Structure 1
Amino acid sequence: MLAIERRNDILERLQADKRVVVSELSAIYQVSEETIRRDLEKLENDGLVIKSYGGAVLNEHSIFDLPFNIRKNQKIVEKEKIARLIAGMVRDGEALMLDASSTDVYIAKALKEMKKLTVITNSVEIIVELFDMPEWNVISTGGISREKSFALVGPHTDAMIRSYHVDKAIISCKGLDLEIGMTDSDEHDANSKRMMLKSAKERILVADHTKFGETAFTKVADWSQITKIVTDKKPGAKWMQEFEKYRVECIYPGKES
C-alpha cells in the first residue's frame, strides 16, 4: 500500500470511529509506529486531523473539505444509485453542465451509454473521464485549478459558464438545511454552481442522504432555485413538505420521475 493510500484509509477510519491509535494502525498496516506518526503529522499539517497522545482525532472543522481523491472513494453505493437515476432522466443530444463534485464524476460514468451529449464542466476529473467519448462535445470551462477539489474556478470559469445555455445543470453541494438551503465549503466552488443553475432550463441538485441536515461554510442557492433533487433514499416528511412547498420534485430509488 502506498503512503497516500494508507493516509486516505486512516481518514476513512477516523470518519467512522472519530479516533485512531498509533499502535493499532501500526498492526493493521504492518508498518512501524514511526511511519504512522509521520502519516498523522502529514494529515495534521493538511488540517484534517488533530494529533493526540498515542493517536489522533478527526478535525471536525475540516469534515466538508476532504480532498477530492478521498471523497471520490466514499459513499460509492449512494453515488452510483444517484448516477443511475440521472442517467434515466437525460436524453441523447442534450446539453448538460456538470460541476466538480465527486457525485458528478459517477454521473459522467453512467452517462457514457448515451450516443451523443454536450457536457460543459469545470471538473478536471470529468474531462479526463470523458476523453474516450469522441462523439460527444465535451467543453472545459477553463479557469484556475484547485488541487484539493480537482476543480477549475475563478472569474474566467464563471464567465464561460454564463456564456452557455443548457438543458440541464446537475450540481451537488456539501450540506442541505431546511431553512438555509444548499451550502458548500468553498466560495469559488459555490459561485460556479450558482452560475450553472442560472444557465440551465432544468436545475438538478444531487445529494446523498448523509448531506441532509448539514450546513457548510457558504450558501449556494435557495430551494426555489432548483427544479429537482435526486438522492439515494426517500427523505423524511419535513423535507418532502419543504420540497412540495417550493415545487421541487424529489426523485429517489423506487419513485418514478
Structure 2
Amino acid sequence: MLAIERKNEILAILQKEQRVLVAELSQKYNVTEETIRRDLEKLEKEGFVKKTYGGAVLNSNTNLDLPLRIREKTNKKEKQIIAKIVAELIEEGETIMLDSSSTSLMVAKNLKQIRKLTVITNSVEVLIEFAGNKGINVISTGGMLRESSLSLVGKTAERTLMNFNVDKAVISCKGIDLDKGITESNESEAEIKSIMRKCAKTTILAIDNSKFDNISFIKVGDLNKNDIVITDKMLQDKWNQYFEEREIKVIAE
C-alpha cells in the first residue's frame, strides 16, 4: 500500500471512530510504529488530527473539511442504505438537484436505472457517474473547482442554480442541531446547498446518524415542513418530537 493510501485510510478510520492508536495501526498495515507516527505528523500539519500519547484524535474544528475521497470511505454502509431510500423517492420524469456530498454520489449510482430524469449538480463526480446514461439529462452548474470536494462553487454556480425550479433537491450536511439547524464546514458549499433548497419544491436531507447533534462552521438553514429527512437509524425521542412538531417527514431504516 502506498503511503498516501494508508494516510487516507487512517483519516477514514478517524472520521468514524474519532481516535486511533499507533500500535494498532502498525499491526493493521504491517509497518513500523515510527512509520505510523510520521503519517500522523503529516496529518497533524495538514490540520486534520491532533496527536496524543500513543495515537491521535480527529481535529474537532467546526470548519474541518475532509477531502471527498476520505468521506466516501466513511460510514459507507450507512450512506448506501440512505442512498437507496432516497433513490426510491425520485420519480421518473422529475427534475432534481444533487449537491457535492459523498452521499449524493451514492444516490446518483442508484438513479442510473431511471429512464427519464433531469439532474442539475455542482458535483464533478456526479457528472462523471451519469456520463453515458442517455435517459438522464445532466446539467452542470459550472463555477470554480474546489479540489478537495471535487465540487463547483462560487457566483457562476450560484447564478446557474437560481435559473431553475426543480421537484427535489438532495443535499447532505456536516451537522444538524436542534437549535442551530443544518450546518456545513465550508461557506461556499453552504451557499450552494441553501440555493438548492430555495429552488426545490421538496428538499431531501440525506444524513447518517453521526451528523445529529453536531454543529459545523456555517449555517445552511432551518428545517421546514417541505423537507424529508432520510437517515440510517431510529432517532432519539427529542428528534422525533422536533420533527413531529414541524410536520417534517422522517424515514429511518
Q: TM-score, normalised by structure 2?
A: 0.92
Residue pair 1:13, 1:20 contacting (<8 A) in 2 also:
no
1:118-197 to structure 2, matched below 5 A, reads 118-197=118-197
1:128 alignment partner AA: I
Q: Which amino acid aligns with 1:146?
A: R
The gaps in structure 2 that reach 5 residues or longer are none
Give the aligned residue type for 1:240: N
Could you tell me which residue of structure 2 aligns to residue 90 of structure 1? Answer: 90
Partner SS for 1:47:
coil
User: How far has the Cα of 1:27 moved from its partner?
Assistant: 3.7
- Range moving further from structure 2, 68-77 or 24-33: 24-33
**Residue identity matched to 1:120:** I
Letter of the 1:68 partner, please give it.
L
Q: 3-state DSSP class of the match of 2:224? A: helix
Structure 1, residues 135-157: CA drift from partner, whole Å, max 9, x if none? 21111101111111111111111
> In structure 2, do the counterparts of structure 1 residues 54 and 223 end up closer, same or farther at CA, with 3 Å as the change threshold?
closer
Percent of residue pairs identical: 49
- Which residue of structure 2 aligns with residue 227 of structure 1? 227
Name the amino acid aligned to 2:179: E
- Aligned AA for 1:3? A
Q: Which is further off, 25-34 or 104-113?
A: 25-34
Deviation of the 1:93 alpha carbon: 1.0
- The residue type equivalent to 2:143 in the other structure is G
Q: Check whether the contact 1:145–1:153 (CA below 8 A) recurs between aligned residues.
A: yes
Contact 1:65/1:185, CA 8 A, preserved across alignment: yes
Is residue 114 from structure 1 mapped to residue 114 from structure 2 by the alignment?
Answer: yes
For 2:243 and 2:54, how far apart are their aligned partners in 1? Answer: 47
Unaligned runs of 5+ in 1: none
- Aligned pair in 2 of structure 1 residues 28, 147: CA closer, same or farther (>3 Å)? same
Per the alignment, do residues 167 and 61 of structure 1 end up closer, same or farther by CA in structure 2, a change over 3 Å counting?
Answer: same
Question: 1:17 and 1:136 mapped to 2: Cα distance?
Answer: 39
Partners in 1 of 2:225 and 2:150 — Cα distance? 25
Shift of 1:7: 0.5
Quote the offset at 1:13 in angstroms: 3.6
What SS is found at the alignment partner of 1:65?
Answer: coil
Q: Aligned partners of 2:3, 2:62: CA distance in 1, in Å?
A: 21
Preserved contact between residue 63 and residue 185 of structure 2 (Cα < 8 Å):
no
- Residues 228 and 250, structure 1, Cα contact 8 Å, conserved in 2: yes
Tell me the secondary structure at the aligned position of residue 43 of structure 1: helix
1:20 aligned residue = 21
Tell me the amino acid that sits aligned with residue 154 of structure 1.
G
1:8 aligned residue:
8
Moved more, 87-96 or 37-46: 37-46
- Greater CA deviation, 107-116 or 241-250? 241-250
Q: How far apart are the structure 1 equivalents of 2:71 and 2:44?
A: 18
C-alpha contact (below 8 Å) 2:183/2:218 kept by paired residues: yes
AA matched with 1:20: L
Once the two structures are superposed, the pairs formed by residues 207-226 of structure 1 within 5 Å of their partners are 207-224=207-224, 226=226
Find the aligned partners of 2:14 and 2:83 in 1 and give their Cα distance: 27
> In 2 relative to 1, CA 26–236 (structure 1 residues): closer, same or farther, beyond 3 Å?
closer
Shift of 1:87: 1.5
Q: Identify the residue that residue 42 of structure 2 maps to in structure 1.
A: 42
Secondary structure at 2:215's aligned position in 1?
Answer: coil
User: Would the aligned equivalents of 2:99 and 2:172 in 1 still touch at CA under 8 Å?
Assistant: yes
| 1:103 Cα deviation after fit | 0.6
In structure 2, how many angstroms separate the alpha carbons of the residues matched to 1:17 and 1:200?
A: 35
2:63–2:216 contact (8 Å) kept in structure 1: no
User: For 1:54 and 1:239, how far apart are their aligned partners in 2?
Assistant: 37
- The yes-or-no answer on 1:31 pairing with 2:43 is no
Q: Which residue of 1 is the match for residue 100 of structure 2?
A: 100
Partners in 1 of 2:184 and 2:225 — Cα distance?
15
Instruction: Output the CA distance in 2 between the equivalents of 1:171 and 1:94.
Output: 16
**Cα separation, partners in 2 of 1:179 and 1:17, compared to 1, 3 Å:** closer
